[in-house]
Amino acid sequence: MAEALLENSLKIESSYMTGNIEKTNIQLFLVILILAAAGCSGKTQKGEDNAKSGLSDTGSAVIAFMKYEHLFGKVNEGEKVGCIFTFENKGTANLVLLSVSTTCGCTVPKYDRKPVAPGKSGTLEVVFDTSGRSGIQTKTITVKSNAKTPVILLKITAEVINDNL
């Protein structure tokens, strides 16, 4: 009889513990479900708040040069020749030239680092020093900006005449 009581007591305790585990699992599941639902609804609300406040995509800058290549023609060795590349910001955000580099030290770029507003134009001056050069010379100017096309290549070409050769 004592054994039967002990066996019944263990069965009751075991079923009680199993019931608590199942209850705990259900509660944990509900908490996770509530948190997930709250997280999703928060994202939707944030999107609705942005729409209500008029905030939208910040837009992007679009750089468009009037020409991408300049031909100096024939120039005498030792001359410094220059040209101006004009560009326009055809985008909806300010355009900023981040850097302008050239293929060698004989070509020097000058540009304004101030932002160019949408619809406005800017210039990039390039000076080529022909000292010590002869023949056809082609130099590449790399323009890096915050535009949709972040890297633009420009080119200058000159035929340097060296009478000393």
93-120 confidence digits (pLDDT tens): 999 999 999 999 999 999 999 999 999 9
69-76/97-102 β-pairing:
unpaired
Domain boundaries, the chain: 1-56, 63-161
First to last CA, the chain: 124
Q: Which residue has the higher pLDDT, 14 or 67?
A: 67
Structure-block tokens of residue 117: 């507003």
In degrees and rounded to multiples of 5, residue 147 shows phi and psi of: -75, 170
* pTM of the predicted protein model: 0.65
pLDDT of amino acid 158: 98
CATH architecture of 63-161: Sandwich (2.60)
Provide mean pLDDT across the span 65-69.
98
Q: Is 50 exposed, middle or buried (0-12, 13-18, 19+ CB in 10 A)?
A: exposed
pLDDT > 80? residue 82: yes
Is 26 a residue whose pLDDT tops 70?
no
Report the distance separating Cα 92 and Cα 163, nearest Å.
51
